[in-house]
Copies of this chain bind each other. A is one copy, B any other.
């Protein structure tokens, strides 16, 4: 059923004039009729397949479809056939560059997760190989990252001490990694990738900065040479640990640590100022490790206070599938840790992948990436790796070093393999302080001052969300800080829906345009009409508010009319253009408003309800009470039609 509403044809004269002759007919129309099943199907397609992933398969032969399908799941098949020697040259350079970063960072980040350094190297070997087969980003450099390492370390250490029970701790780490991978792959497979969108930019800016501060402060342990350090992650216990244990401070460690830290920070600054010199900051960590190791090895007797990594086992990743557990006391903790580190590492990986894809104009399919990262972590958990993803810092170096395909990850893995097989004894005298300095240099980049300022400038509530997640992480805990920030982001959406804008409109003289009276000074009220736009869907969460607010607008408007001795209000026009949805409570609101206005002999008119709203109004039979004269396509038509019909019956 369509409610027909006559309106004058094309260009409408100003509202006070009578309609021109030759009027056409235009309806406020329902969307084409469709079944509930069809609507559900459309809705589900929009939820799960907004990118229409099958469009490549349309109008293709069966064999071509098979090849395309294989290429979809194994992107390596897309680019490997066209791989050239020239590409290889670039990839080898970039692969070796990121390896020189990945090896010291791998060892350092493993320490952050309270793991033996070797696990960090294991995690820089298997996952990059798997990603190079499954992943669709050309620039992602895969391996352990600081945030996920930190969160995993914090969450597991609360239940199990890695010193007292190293085997159980390792089991927990691998199991959590397995669940992280499972969670990531499921999100991708079930096409629920939008879950990570709920970690808004504002949330992440605050969270990253908070985590960076915590991580940097924790490194004071290594930089100052403190032995007995708190296992807590909050600001206060860490700081008190630093200052209470000042008898353990070692001046040798402090001097050496500070020197290397300054060198690393300076090289980072140089590369940031001039991206062409990226290799300076890329080479600095490995160079520092070599230098400091050599220094400690030579002056061992003179530097007795400096703590070193110690002996590391040689050889490639041992299998660890037998260390996974799927029941018992700690299974809940493992799943929780897996989900949180999984979502964090996914967010980082996807964001990094998208950033560099945008720079080089190719597409990264979020859901496919999630499956790739998830499978990579699941396999990693069976080969002694902990949670890995695309690292922002290493991917940036990879990009700047000219990486062309995922082969750079393979080259990096090869370099790590050589290290694992032959170079492990060299790390024996590597001092812990250099790892601390490397971590600090890496996490400093996570503090995004400019981003925070931008948030403040554009959106105060976003800024508040960032602030809360920053302080939440700093003073309470990482998961709670994250939860607070997500809560604020969701609250912001709800607030927008709960307290929507309502804007009284006026006509801009000489046009058919109706705009906010507040924003457009020249807009004028139309005598006897009160036009109001509702700027939100009308839902249970705001229908009570909207009713109160609209009645208050009418009350205030009537007061204004009385004090300016204008004619009485005869018609309230509700501009529904921005009412993008309505539910049963919203329909009740409209019924109620109509009833209350009718009691005061004021007519209520709806203008331009969108398709889905129109449909619901129709189903609820409320349209019948509006009839032919209560529904218009534009405000101009409504004003003209009603004022002319008022004149007709004076």
A residues adjacent to B (C-beta < 8 A): 9-14, 24, 26, 29-32, 36, 40, 46-47, 50-52, 55, 194, 197-198, 200-203, 358, 361, 366, 454-455, 457-462, 489-490, 492-501, 503, 508, 510-513, 515-516, 518-520, 535-537, 539-545, 548-549, 552, 555, 577-578, 580-581, 583-585, 587-588, 592, 596, 599, 610-612, 616, 619-620, 633-634
Contact of A585 among B200, B512, B520 (CB under 8 A): B200
Contacts of A11 in B (CB 8 A): 10-13, 512
A197 and B589 alpha carbons, distance in the complex (Å): 13
Q: Is the CB of A454 within 8 A of B549?
A: no
Contact of A490 among B50, B51, B494, B585 (CB under 8 A): B494
Q: Is the CB of A460 within 8 A of B40?
A: yes
Contacts of A611 in B (CB 8 A): 501, 503, 516, 518-519
Contacts of A494 in B (CB 8 A): 490, 493
Q: Is the CB of B541 within 8 A of A583?
A: no
Q: Is the CB of B619 within 8 A of A457?
A: yes
Chain B: which residue is nearest A509 at the CB level?
B10
Contacts of A536 in B (CB 8 A): 580
Chain B: which residue is nearest A365 at the CB level?
B548
- What are 16 A-B residue pairs whose CB atoms fall within 8 Å in the complex? A11-B11, A24-B510, A32-B518, A50-B548, A55-B552, A197-B544, A200-B541, A200-B583, A202-B583, A455-B584, A459-B584, A493-B539, A501-B612, A503-B611, A519-B611, A577-B577
Contact of A499 among B47, B511, B587 (CB under 8 A): B47
Contacts of A200 in B (CB 8 A): 539-541, 583, 585
Q: Is the CB of B545 within 8 A of A50?
A: yes
A379 and B174 alpha carbons, distance in the complex (Å): 57
Contacts of A24 in B (CB 8 A): 510-511
Chain B: which residue is nearest A498 at the CB level?
B194
Contacts of A500 in B (CB 8 A): 580
Contacts of A55 in B (CB 8 A): 552, 555
Contacts of A194 in B (CB 8 A): 498-499, 541, 544-545
A539 and B489 alpha carbons, distance in the complex (Å): 10
Contact of A510 among B10, B513, B542, B599 (CB under 8 A): B10
Q: Is the CB of A51 within 8 A of B513?
A: no
Contacts of A498 in B (CB 8 A): 194, 197
Closest 4 CB pairs of A and B: A11-B11, A200-B540, A535-B580, A578-B578
When A11-B512, A194-B544, A620-B457 are in contact, do A518 and B583 touch as well, CB less than 8 Å?
Answer: no
Q: Is the CB of A513 within 8 A of B634?
A: yes
Contact of A581 among B12, B366, B496, B542 (CB under 8 A): B496
A647 and B458 alpha carbons, distance in the complex (Å): 38
Q: Is the CB of B52 within 8 A of A459?
A: no
Contact of A458 among B12, B13, B539, B584 (CB under 8 A): B584
